[in-house]
Amino acid sequence: SFAALAPEIAGKPTAQAHLVSVQQDIQSLTEHAAAQSAHISFLLDAALGLINIEQNVSIKTFSVFTVLLMPPTLIGAIYGMNFEVMPELSWPWGYPLTLGLMVVSGVAPLLWFRHKGWF
């Protein structure tokens, strides 16, 4: 539009027509570029959404395993303190009972989560 104001072009009708044609081409290319940019932005958002869903599944799995391992870790930590006043230490079946309690406390939440359909 600024080129049409130049005195060399203002007096030539063919040059004016050519500038109008060029201006329309530039405008249509600008609109096309905007449409392509919107399309690319949509595809990027879709890809990021799929990646986010996959990451949520991974985080959910890690969270479930963390919750499953918390009770056995607590039991192991308590019995690993080596106190002498714990009555279970002198029991002949104290150690296997503690191991069984750790297994049960880890498997019970897993069964509960599967029953609820969470995992």
Helix (H, G, I), strand (E, B) or coil at 81: coil
Q: pTM for the whole thing?
A: 0.50
Question: Which domains are seen in the chain, by residue range?
Answer: 3-116 (1.20.58.340)
Average pLDDT, the chain: 85
Please check the confidence at residue 1 and state whether its pLDDT lies above 80.
no
- Which residue stretches of the chain are H helix? 7-10, 13-79, 94-116
At residue 32, the pLDDT reads 96
Token pair for 94: 């104290």
The dihedral through the CA atoms of 17, 18, 19, 23 has a sign that is positive
Give the tens place of pLDDT for each residue, 54-77: 999 889 888 888 888 888 888 888
Token pair for 91: 């029991």
Please check the confidence at residue 31 and state whether its pLDDT lies above 90.
yes
Question: What is the mean pLDDT of the segment spanning 23-47?
Answer: 95
